């Protein structure tokens, strides 16, 4: 078994080799360290430089959009030619916390999507709404519609919307990222959504350090725990763990098309 954790955050608490060995011990052999600030993008890059079967992404999380300045993507030029840069992100819209003004979030999101097109990399999209509204989904959809018609490819990471929104994004060619939430008893919507996601559009991720799956819920997450998310996803899709593993890992290599196995 060789699972791919397509989204984790590396904080440097343990050495990259120690982090990787623990994940690999559980069958999680491929990792993508996501960048949500310039600083984290650099740290993720260093992780990827040290660990053969790992890659990184760079971007500015919507929480940080207000601090991004006028020409946010220009500070990221240093990553452009890096062989281990697999994607741009995480970028997107967060209307739940709304740490940054919505208008600014949309501007920064748009700029990084332009970068993704210029650099020929897929985008990792964060999309979160206030509980009673779908404004972030609706605004993201409009922005991503242009991106995908321009040839852009994206994943809605940690997808938490409903079936109707999943179908809309799937029509744009989206991949959808499934996290440990799928194991939570109350997450009926995610398990319902899983039914409409075609197998070839499914990616697995931990979003470490958040969202540890059952039986680790409440603890700090780790890429190693992806195996629990994979087991639950396999059960919901009526597949074996090995099948879900080989399908979602192949999907990840297809999605991050610029990377190759070591
Ligand atoms: Zn994340």
Q: Say if CB 217 and CB 18 are below 8 A apart.
A: no
List, for residues 93-143, the tens digit of each pLDDT value: 999 999 999 999 999 999 999 999 999 999 999 999 987 789 999 999 999
Token pair 């960048």 is found at 35
Rounded Cα distance between 79 and 221, Å, is: 27
* Distance of CA 150 from the midpoint of ligand 1 (Å): 25
Give me the sheet containing 202-204, strands edge to edge.
3-8, 28-33, 54-58, 85-94, 123-128, 154-156, 175-178, 202-204
- In this model, does residue 259 exceed pLDDT 90? no
pTM for this structure?
Answer: 0.97
- In this model, does residue 28 exceed pLDDT 90? yes
List, for residues 184-216, the tens digit of each pLDDT value: 999 999 999 999 999 999 999 999 999 999 999
CA distances from 134 to 54, 214, 225 (A): 34, 28, 30
Q: What is the mean pLDDT of residues 64-76?
A: 87
Q: Label residue 131 exposed, middle or buried (CB < 10 Å: 0-12, 13-18, 19+).
A: exposed
* Distance of CA 125 from the midpoint of ligand 1 (Å): 9
- pLDDT category at 258 given cuts 50, 70, 90 is confident
Long-range contacts of 230-236 (CB under 8 A, 24+ apart): 230/3, 230/204, 232/182, 232/183, 233/178, 233/182, 233/194, 233/202, 233/204, 236/182, 236/191, 236/194, 236/195
- Through-space distance between the first and last CA atoms of the chain, rounded to whole angstroms: 16
Rounded Cα distance between 51 and 250, Å, is: 20
Instruction: Domain 3-255: give its CATH code.
Output: 3.20.20.140
Q: What is the mean pLDDT of residues 16-44?
A: 98
* Distance of CA 90 from the midpoint of ligand 1 (Å): 6
* Distance of CA 76 from the midpoint of ligand 1 (Å): 18
- pLDDT category at 72 given cuts 50, 70, 90 is confident
* Distance of CA 23 from the midpoint of ligand 1 (Å): 18
* Distance of CA 195 from the midpoint of ligand 1 (Å): 24
- In this model, does residue 71 exceed pLDDT 90? no
* Distance of CA 7 from the midpoint of ligand 1 (Å): 6
* Distance of CA 124 from the midpoint of ligand 1 (Å): 9
Q: Which of 182, 158, 186 is nearest to 237 (CA)?
A: 182
* Distance of CA 6 from the midpoint of ligand 1 (Å): 10
- pLDDT category at 70 given cuts 50, 70, 90 is confident
- In this model, does residue 69 exceed pLDDT 90? no
List, for residues 170-180, the tens digit of each pLDDT value: 999 999 999 99
- In this model, does residue 58 exceed pLDDT 90? yes
* Distance of CA 11 from the midpoint of ligand 1 (Å): 12
185: how many CB neighbours lie within 10 A of its CB? Answer: 7
* Distance of CA 206 from the midpoint of ligand 1 (Å): 9
Polymer length of the chain: 262
* Distance of CA 209 from the midpoint of ligand 1 (Å): 9
What are the extents of the domains in the chain? 3-255
- In this model, does residue 262 exceed pLDDT 80? no
Q: Return the higher-pLDDT residue of 6 and 262.
A: 6
* Distance of CA 236 from the midpoint of ligand 1 (Å): 24
Q: Return the higher-pLDDT residue of 67 and 29.
A: 29
* Distance of CA 50 from the midpoint of ligand 1 (Å): 21
DSSP state of 197: S
- In this model, does residue 67 exceed pLDDT 90? no
């Amino acid at each position: 078994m060789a699972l791919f954790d397509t989204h984790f955050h590396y904080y440097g608490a343990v050495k990259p080799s120690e982090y990787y060995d623990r994940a690999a011990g559980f069958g999680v052999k491929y990792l993508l360290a996501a960048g949500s600030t310039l600083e984290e993008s650099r740290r993720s890059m260093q992780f990827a430089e040290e660990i053969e079967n790992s890659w990184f992404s760079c971007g500015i999380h919507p929480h940080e959009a207000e601090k991004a300045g006028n020409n946010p993507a220009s500070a990221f030029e240093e990553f452009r030619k890096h062989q281990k840069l697999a994607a741009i992100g995480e970028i997107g819209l967060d209307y739940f916390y709304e740490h940054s003004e919505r208008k600014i979030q949309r501007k920064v999101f748009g700029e990084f999507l332009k970068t993704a097109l210029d650099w020929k990399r897929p985008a990792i999209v964060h999309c979160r709404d206030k509980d009673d509204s779908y404004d972030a989904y609706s605004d993201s959809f409009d922005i991503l519609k242009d991106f995908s018609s321009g040839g852009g490819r994206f994943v809605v990471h940690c997808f938490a919307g409903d079936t109707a929104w999943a179908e809309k994004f799937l029509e744009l060619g989206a991949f959808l990222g499934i996290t440990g939430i799928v194991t939570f008893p109350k997450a009926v919507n995610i398990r319902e959504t899983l039914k409409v996601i075609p197998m070839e559009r499914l990616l697995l991720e931990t979003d470490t350090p958040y969202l540890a799956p059952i039986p680790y819920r409440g603890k700090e997450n780790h890429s190693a725990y992806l195996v629990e998310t994979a087991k639950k996803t396999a059960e919901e899709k009526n597949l074996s763990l090995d099948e879900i593993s080989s399908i979602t890992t192949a999907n990840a290599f297809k999605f991050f098309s610029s990377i190759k196995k070591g």
